[in-house]
């Protein structure tokens, strides 16, 4: 690869670390645009951008993740007490796994106003649990 490649334009930058996904430049908006995704962490990460039910709170999301963790440990299907990710989500984009220190650019198409979750499920290098179980998610409201 040539050293001096032009950087693609992007509407927002997401930065992944242990264990967080933050909007570090620009902002997530409605419409179609490119998002830059940086892995500034020590482990591989990815980001899923998922539309969820409007107004979903962090507490509701962590409850569902706890229920998934219980399910993974017991081998029984999750019994969701409130927020059900199987029925109340709509995948928008997925970055694919990125190595430490890499960037990639992903295209978002026709993003609608609403509540979104940025989340990583890459298995942790220490305990094998998906990073989301370590708190690697962020709830973002996209205004209309």
Phi, psi of 58 (to 5 degrees): -60, -35
Cβ closer to Cu ion: 116 or 122? 122
CB of 57 to Cu ion, least distance (A): 22
CB of 143 to Cu ion, least distance (A): 27
Cβ closer to Cu ion: 43 or 114? 43
Number of residues that bind Cu ion (CB under 5 A): 5
The 75-114 site mask, x for binding Cu ion (CB under 5 A), equals: ----------------------------------------
Cβ closer to Cu ion: 36 or 45? 45
The 36-55 site mask, x for binding Cu ion (CB under 5 A), equals: ---------x----------
Print burial letters for 131-141: b (CB count within 10 Å at least 16), e (below 16).
bbbbebbbbbe
Chain-centroid distance, C-alpha 29: 15
**DSSP per-residue codes, 17-35:** ETTEEEEEEE---SEEEEE
CB of 121 to Cu ion, least distance (A): 7
Cα 1 from Cα 3, distance rounded (Å): 6
The residues in 109-138 that bind Cu ion, with binding defined as CB under 5 A, are: 120, 122, 131, 136
Distances (CA, A) of 95 to 73, 77, 83, 86, 122: 27, 27, 24, 20, 12
Q: Which residues bind Cu ion (CB under 5 A)?
A: 45, 120, 122, 131, 136
């Amino acid at each position: 690869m040539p050293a001096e490649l032009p950087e693609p334009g992007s509407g927002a930058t997401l930065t992944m670390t242990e264990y967080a996904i933050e909007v570090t430049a620009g902002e997530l908006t409605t419409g179609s645009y490119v998002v830059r995704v940086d892995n500034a962490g020590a482990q591989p990460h990815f980001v899923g951008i998922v539309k969820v039910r409007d107004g979903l709170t962090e507490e509701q999301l962590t409850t569902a993740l706890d229920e998934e963790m219980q399910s993974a440990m017991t081998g029984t299907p999750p019994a969701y007490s409130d927020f059900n990710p199987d029925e109340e989500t709509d995948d928008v984009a997925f970055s694919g796994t990125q190595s430490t220190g890499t960037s990639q650019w992903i295209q978002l198409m026709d993003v609608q106003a609403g509540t979104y979750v940025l989340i990583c499920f890459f298995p942790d290098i220490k305990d094998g649990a998906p990073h989301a179980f370590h708190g690697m998610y962020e709830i973002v409201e996209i205004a209309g």
